[in-house]
Amino acid sequence: MVPTDTAISVNGLEKSFKDLKVLKKIDFKVKKGSIFALLGPNGAGKTTTIKILSTLLKPDKGNARVSGFDVIIQSDQVRGEISLTGQYAAVDEILTGRENLQMIGKLRHLSDVNKKAEELLARFDLLDAADRPVSTYSGGMRRRLDLAMSLLGSPSVIFLDEPTTGLDPQSRLTMWEIIKNLKDSGITVFLTTQHLEEADQLADRIAILNDGKIVAKGSAAELKKMLPHGHIELKFSDEKDLQSVGNLLADYETNLNKEIRTLVIVTDGSIKQMTDILKQLETAEVDITEFTQKPPTLEDVFLSIISKKEGK
Amino acid sequence: MEVIKKHFFSDISVMLGRSMRHIFRSMDTIITVTIMPIAMMLLFVYVLGGAIQTGTDNYVNYLLPGIMLISIANGIGYVSFRLFTDLQQGIFDRFHSMPIARSAPLWGHVLTSLVSNAISVVVIILVALIMGFHSSAGVLSWLAVVCILALFTLALTWIAVIAALSAKSVDGASVVAYPLHLLPLISSAFVPTKSMPSAVRAFTENQPVTSIVETIRALLLGQPVGNDIWIALAWCVGIMLVAYFFAMRTYKKRL
Ligand SMILES: Nc1ncnc2c1ncn2[C@@H]1O[C@H](COP(=O)(O)OP(=O)(O)O)[C@@H](O)[C@H]1O
Ligand SMILES: [Mg+2]
C-alpha cells in the first residue's frame, strides 16, 4: 500500500515506441505538497513520463499511482485529481482568454464558472487581454493562461511539462513565482525542465533522467555535491598562443578547439588551482582575449554522473 | 465512472459551442460553405439557367438539392481541418487528461458538422425561396429530406475524421475535400444526365450524389421517388457505417 503522504509513485516504468526504448525501468516517489523536478536533456523521455502519469499513454511495463489511484486501471479517478499543462501551450487560439477559461470550467462542471474565470484572469495578470483572441497573446501570456486553465477544478496534482521553455527571462521569473505559489496553496507540482538552475530554484527533490534512465535523484544540495566545479574558458587571438597554453597546462583536463581558438580547462574550483593556472598564464605571455569561468552545466552533471557510474 | 457518463451530453455541447465559435469567426469557412453555394445558385439561375433544358419550368427548383449537397461537401474539408489542428495543438491532450469521456471531443466535432451544415442549408433554402423556389412537399417529405441530408453529412463527416486522424500535415487533412467537391458537379445536380456523353453518363448515373439529388428533388417537388430513395439511403448509410468503423478504430489506436 502506498503511504498517504505520497502523491505520485512510479515503479519499474517501461515504455517503447516500436523498437525505440524510451523509458527503461524508472522509479521515483513524489511527496504530497512538494515540487518535484524531472531534469533531463531533449529526448530523455520527460514528456513520455508525463503522458503516462496523466493517463494519455499506457506504459508497457511497471505501474504508476497518482493520489493513490492506478493510472491504468483507475484512469478516470486519476483524471479527476490532476491537471496537465503540456509542453506546447494547449490553449484555443481562436477563443479569447476568458472563453478558454469558461470552456474548461464548464467541462469541469463548476457552479460559478464566470466568477472563477474572472478570478484567475486577475490572478494571472490577464484581465486587460481577457477578451482578445489568444492568437494575439505573447508566449508568456499563453503559458499563464494555460496554467490558469489547469487550475480550474482545484486539482491536487499538477503536471507542468517544460513550463518556461521558450520564455523570455522576465516571463520565466514570473512563472517561477507562480509555481512557488502553487506549492504554497498545497498543490503537488511535477515539472520537467532542461535547466539545472530551474530545478535548483524550484524543486524540493530532483530526479535526473538521461536516455530513459534515472541517473540520480535527491535534493538540489545533494545533487550539487556530485557535480564537478565547472570550467574555465580562454579565448585567444592567435592560434600559436592557444597551442602553447594547451601544452603548458597539460596537467589539467583540457579541451582545445582550434576553430574558435578556445581552450576549456576543467577545474575543481579551488583557489589553489585557480592561482596555479593564472600564474602559468602570466609567465606564458600570451594574448588572451576572453577569460570566463563557467558554472557547471547540465552537460557536466550528466558526464560526471554517468562516468562515475561507469567507473571511469 | 458514472459522473462522466452523466455529463456526456453537456460536455459535447461545450465542445459544440467551441467549434461553432471557430466557424463564426472564420470568414473563409462562411464564404466556402454558404456564400459560394449561393453565388453558384445565382450564377446558374440568372446567367446559365436560360440555356439549360431540365424539363421543369422553375430552374431553382431543379438546382436547389444539388446546391445543398455542394454546401455540405464544401464544409467537409473544414471538419478535418479543425480536428487536425486540435490534435496538433495539444488541446486534445488537455481534454483527454480531464475527467470527461474520451470520445467527447470527437463527437463534438461530428455534432458541429451537423449543426453548421444545417444552418447553411437553411440559409440557402431561404435565399432560394426569395429566388422563386416553391415546394409542394408535406411534412413527411421534408422530414425525409432532412434525414437524407443528415445521413449524407454524417457519411462525409466520418470520412473527414479518418482523414484528420491519419494525416501528417494540414494539407493532407484537407485534401479529402477535393474529390468531394467534384462529386456534385459530375452528377444530375445542374443538368439532366440525358444530355451527357455515354461514358460520363454511366458514371454520373451510378455515383451516390445523383441518386441523392434525384430523391431530394422528387421529395421537394412532390413527385414519386421510386427506387432512388433506397439507393440514396443505401449509399449514405453504407458509407457512414464503414467510415465510422474505421474512424473509431483509428481514434482508439491513436489516443
Ligand atoms: N509517439 C512517439 N512515437 C515515436 N517516438 C516517440 C514518440 N514520442 C516520443 N518519441 C521519442 O521518444 C524519445 C523521448 O521523447 P520525449 O519523452 O518527448 O522526450 P523529452 O520530453 O525528454 O524531450 C524521443 O527520442 C522521441 O523522439
Ligand atoms: Mg518533452
Burial of B186 (0-12, 13-18, 19+ CB in 10 A): middle
**Distance between CA atoms of residues A88 and B90, nearest Å:** 7
**Per-residue pLDDT for A301 more than 90?**
no
Q: Do A76 and B1 touch (CB under 8 A)?
A: yes
Average pLDDT over residues B90-105: 91
Do the interacting molecules here have an ipTM over 0.95? Answer: no
Q: Please give the model's pTM, rounded to 2 decimal places.
A: 0.83
**Distance between CA atoms of residues B169 and B122, nearest Å:** 33
Domain borders along chain B are 2-254
Residue located nearest, by CA, to atom 7 of ligand 1: A17
Q: How far apart are the first and last CA of chain A?
A: 39
User: Across the interface, which of B14, B94, B99 has its CB nearest the CB of A106?
Assistant: B14
How near does any CA of chain A get to the CA of B142, in Å?
Answer: 36
**Per-residue pLDDT for B207 more than 50?**
yes
- Please give the pLDDT value at position B246: 94
Handedness of CA B48, B51, B54, B60 (dihedral sign): positive
Average pLDDT over residues A117-126: 94
Residue B215 CA, distance from chain mean position:
16
How near does any CA of chain A get to the CA of B110, in Å?
Answer: 18
For the stretch B126-136, pLDDT in tens is 999 999 898 88
Q: Do B4 and A109 touch (CB under 8 A)?
A: no
Cβ(A17) – ligand 1 distance below 6 Å:
yes
Concatenated DSSP letters of B66-102:
HHHHHHHHHHHHHHHHHHHHHHHTTHHHHHHTSSS-T
Query: How many Cβ pairs closer than 8 A exist between chain A and B?
Result: 65
For the stretch B5-58, pLDDT in tens is 778 999 999 999 999 999 999 888 888 889 999 998 998 888 877 777 676 668
Cβ proximity of B188 and B214 under 8 Å:
yes
Residue located nearest, by CA, to atom 12 of ligand 1: A22
**Per-residue pLDDT for B205 more than 90?**
no
Residue A258 CA, distance from chain mean position:
33
Segment among A82-91, A255-264, B42-51 with least mean pLDDT:
B42-51
- Please give the pLDDT value at position A312: 40
- Please give the pLDDT value at position A257: 84
- Please give the pLDDT value at position A156: 95
Which residues contact residue A48 at a Cβ distance below 8 angstroms, ignoring those fewer than 6 apart?
A15, A22, A23, A57
Report strand pairing: A213-218 vs A61-66: unpaired
The beta strands (E) that lie in chain B are given as none
Q: How confident is the model at residue A100 (pLDDT cuts 50, 70, 90)?
A: very high
- Please give the pLDDT value at position A273: 82
For the stretch A10-46, pLDDT in tens is 999 999 999 999 999 999 999 999 999 999 989 999 9
**Per-residue pLDDT for A194 more than 60?**
yes
**Per-residue pLDDT for B164 more than 70?**
yes
- If one compares B178 and A77, the residue with the highest pLDDT of the two is A77
Mark A249-280 as b/e (b = at least 16 C-beta within 10 Å): beebebebeeeebbbbbbbebeeebeeebeee
State percent of chain A over pLDDT 70.
91
When the pLDDT of each residue in chain B is averaged and rounded to a whole number, the result is 89
Cβ(A19) – ligand 1 distance below 6 Å:
no
For the stretch A180-190, pLDDT in tens is 999 999 999 99
Q: Do B91 and A95 touch (CB under 8 A)?
A: no
**Distance between CA atoms of residues B67 and B142, nearest Å:** 17
How near does any CA of chain A get to the CA of B21, in Å?
Answer: 8
Cβ proximity of A50 and A36 under 8 Å:
no
Average pLDDT over residues B214-219: 92
Nearest listed ligand to the Cα of residue A44: 1
Q: Which residue from A164, A222, A202 is spatially nearest to A34, judged by alpha carbons?
A: A202
**Per-residue pLDDT for A1 more than 80?**
no
For the stretch B170-190, pLDDT in tens is 888 888 878 888 888 888 887
Residue A7 CA, distance from chain mean position:
19
When the pLDDT of each residue in chain A is averaged and rounded to a whole number, the result is 88
Backbone angles phi, psi at A18, to 5 degrees: 55, -120
**Distance between CA atoms of residues A114 and A104, nearest Å:** 11
| Rounded distance from Cα A177 to ligand 2 centre (Å) | 22
- Please give the pLDDT value at position B137: 85
- If one compares A78 and B223, the residue with the highest pLDDT of the two is A78
Task: Decide: helix, strand or coil at residue A188.
Answer: strand
- Please give the pLDDT value at position A208: 92
**Per-residue pLDDT for A309 more than 70?**
no
Segment among A77-91, A131-145, B38-52 with least mean pLDDT:
B38-52
User: Across the interface, which of A86, A103, A153 has its CB nearest the CB of B90?
Assistant: A86
Average pLDDT over residues A131-151: 94
A59-73, A220-234, B56-70, B202-216, range with greatest mean pLDDT: A59-73
- Please give the pLDDT value at position A306: 59
Cβ proximity of A264 and A233 under 8 Å:
yes
A109-118, A300-309, B54-63, range with greatest mean pLDDT: A109-118
